[in-house]
C-alpha cells in the first residue's frame, strides 16, 4: 500500500510538471463578473492583452455580470482547475459579499488559488463645491454639530463606497444618514447638486468633477498621498490615523489549479505589471499598479475579509 501511494504521488508530480511545461497550449479565459466598460473590465482587457503576448496564446475576457457579481464568481470557482479559466475580481464579490449576504455560492478563500493583485483603486472623499468645509476635520466638526442634516451618498448598498463611509462614521464618531444610489453617475450628480453632504467614490469617477470645480476633494482613503493628487491629504493625516479604504482588482484561479501553473501565471503577471506602458495606463485610469506574490494576495484577502466584516456587523448592514 505504501509503495502504491508513493507511485500515485510520483505520477501526480510528473503530470503536474508536464502540465506546467506545456502550459498554455490553448486560449485562456478570464471571467469578469461585471458588464463591459467598468474599471475591472478595462483593467482586465489591458492586462489580458499583455499576458496574451507574453504567453503566446489568446486571452479572452468573458463578462458574466449580475447577482452582485456572484454569477461570474461562482462560474469561475466551479471551472476546471487547469489554468485555462481565471477570474478577475475585486473587493465587492471577493470580500464584502461574504459578510453582506447570508449565503454565497462560493468561498473566496477555499474555492480560489490567488495569483496576484492587479491594482489598488483609491477612493476620494468629495463634497459639493459650495460646501462650507474645506478639510476633513472641518467636515467632521460640521457633521457633529448638524446631526439632522449630515448624510452621505453611496454608489449602492454594500458597495465599497458605502462601507468606506461607514468606516469613516465609526472612526470619526459622527452620525450620518445613508442615501444609496444605483451607481457612480447618479451619486455624483446628487453630490454636485448638494443633495448629499459627502460621497466616497473612485478617483476615476469623481476625479474629473473635482478638476472641473464641481466637487471638492477633502481627502483620500489611501495610506499615503497619491502622486497624482499630491495636494489632497489622506484621512489618516486628517485626524483618523489608521483609516484605509479603497477598492482593488486581483487575478485568481480555481482552487486545485496546479501550483506550477499558478506560479507561472504569477511570474508572467509580474512582468506585465512592471511594463512602463501598463503602469502608465493603470495610473491614467486613476488606479495604482498592483503586484506581489500569491501568498501576498492570500494574506491581503483574509485581512480585507476581517476588516469589512466588522464594518458590516457594526453598521448592521443588510442586503435589500
Average pLDDT of the residues of the chain: 91
Q: What is the pLDDT of residues 65-82, one digit of tens each?
A: 888 899 999 999 999 999
Distance, in Å, from the CA atom of 268 to the CA atom of 20, rounded to the nearest integer, reads 13
Element (H, E) at 118: strand 112-128
In 125-228, which ranges are continuous DSSP H helix?
Answer: 136-145, 160-172, 184-192, 203-211
CATH architecture of structural domain 123-220: 3-Layer(aba) Sandwich (3.40)
Query: How far is CA 146 from each of CA 128, 140, 151, rounded to the nearest angstrom?
Result: 16, 10, 10
Phi, psi of 118 (to 5 degrees): -95, -40
Distance, in Å, from the CA atom of 184 to the CA atom of 182, rounded to the nearest integer, reads 7
Angle (nearest 5°) at CA 112 between 242 and 247 = 30
Distance, in Å, from the CA atom of 196 to the CA atom of 191, rounded to the nearest integer, reads 5
Local confidence band at 2 (pLDDT 50, 70, 90 cut-offs): very low
What was the pLDDT predicted at 227?
A: 86
What was the pLDDT predicted at 16?
A: 47
Distance, in Å, from the CA atom of 29 to the CA atom of 290, rounded to the nearest integer, reads 21
What was the pLDDT predicted at 3?
A: 45
Contacts of 154 (CB under 8 A, 6+ apart): 161, 162, 165, 178, 179, 180, 181, 187, 199, 200
pLDDT at 90 over 80: yes
What was the pLDDT predicted at 37?
A: 83
What was the pLDDT predicted at 145?
A: 94
Same fold? 2-18+25-121+246-314, 123-220: yes
pLDDT at 13 over 60: no
DSSP letter for 42, please.
H
Q: What is the pLDDT of residues 293-320, one digit of tens each?
A: 999 999 999 999 999 999 999 989 988 7
| pLDDT > 90 in the chain, percent | 79
DSSP string, 259-320: HHHHHHHHHHHHHHHH-HHHHHHHHHTT-EEEE--HHHHHHHHHHHHHHHHHHHHHTT----
What was the pLDDT predicted at 20?
A: 53
DSSP letter for 231, please.
T
Q: What is the pLDDT of residues 118-133, one digit of tens each?
A: 999 999 999 999 999 9
What was the pLDDT predicted at 168?
A: 96
Query: How far is CA 131 from each of CA 199, 218, 232, rounded to the nearest angstrom?
Result: 13, 11, 17
Local confidence band at 21 (pLDDT 50, 70, 90 cut-offs): low
Q: What is the pLDDT of residues 220-229, one digit of tens each?
A: 999 889 988 9
More confident residue, 214 or 183: 214
What was the pLDDT predicted at 5?
A: 45
Mean pLDDT of 192-206: 94
2-18+25-121+246-314 CATH = 3.40.190.150
What was the pLDDT predicted at 70?
A: 94
pLDDT at 143 over 70: yes
Provide the residue ranges of all domains of the chain, joining segments of one domain with +.
2-18+25-121+246-314, 123-220
What was the pLDDT predicted at 9?
A: 42
Mean pLDDT of 13-21: 49
Amino acid at each position: 500500500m505504501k509503495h502504491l501511494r508513493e507511485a500515485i504521488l510520483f505520477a501526480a508530480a510528473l503530470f503536474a510538471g508536464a502540465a506546467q511545461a506545456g502550459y498554455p497550449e490553448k486560449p485562456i479565459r478570464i471571467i469578469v463578473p461585471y458588464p463591459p466598460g467598468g474599471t475591472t473590465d478595462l483593467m482586465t482587457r489591458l492586462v489580458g492583452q499583455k499576458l496574451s503576448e507574453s504567453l503566446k496564446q489568446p486571452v479572452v475576457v468573458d463578462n458574466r455580470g449580475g447577482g452582485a457579481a456572484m454569477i461570474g464568481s461562482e462560474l469561475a470557482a466551479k471551472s476546471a482547475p487547469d489554468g485555462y479559466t481565471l477570474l478577475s475580481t475585486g473587493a465587492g464579490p471577493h470580500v464584502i459579499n461574504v459578510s453582506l449576504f447570508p449565503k454565497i455560492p462560493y468561498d473566496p478563500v477555499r474555492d480560489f488559488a490567488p495569483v496576484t493583485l492587479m491594482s489598488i483603486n483609491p477612493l476620494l472623499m468629495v463634497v459639493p463645491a459650495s460646501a462650507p468645509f474645506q478639510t476633513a476635520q472641518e467636515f467632521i466638526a460640521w457633521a457633529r454639530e448638524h446631526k439632522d442634516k449630515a448624510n452621505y451618498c453611496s454608489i449602492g448598498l454594500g458597495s465599497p463606497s458605502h462601507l468606506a463611509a461607514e468606516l469613516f462614521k465609526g472612526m470619526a464618531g459622527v452620525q450620518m444618514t445613508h442615501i444609496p444610489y444605483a451607481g457612480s453617475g447618479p451619486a455624483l450628480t446628487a453630490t454636485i447638486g448638494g443633495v448629499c453632504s459627502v460621497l466616497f467614490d473612485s478617483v476615476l469617477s469623481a476625479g474629473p468633477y473635482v478638476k472641473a470645480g464641481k466637487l471638492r476633494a477633502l481627502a483620500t482613503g489611501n495610506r499615503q498621498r497619491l502622486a497624482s493628487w499630491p495636494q489632497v491629504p489622506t484621512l489618516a493625516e486628517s485626524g483618523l490615523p489608521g483609516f484605509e479604504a479603497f477598492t482593488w482588482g486581483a487575478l485568481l484561479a480555481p482552487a486545485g489549479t496546479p501550483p506550477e501553473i499558478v506560479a507561472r501565471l504569477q511570474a508572467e503577471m509580474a512582468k506585465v505589471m512592471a511594463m512602463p506602458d501598463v503602469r502608465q495606463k493603470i495610473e491614467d485610469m486613476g488606479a495604482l499598479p498592483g503586484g506581489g506574490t500569491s501568498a501576498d494576495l492570500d494574506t491581503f484577502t483574509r485581512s480585507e475579509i476581517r476588516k469589512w466584516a466588522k464594518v458590516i456587523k457594526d453598521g448592521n448592514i443588510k442586503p435589500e
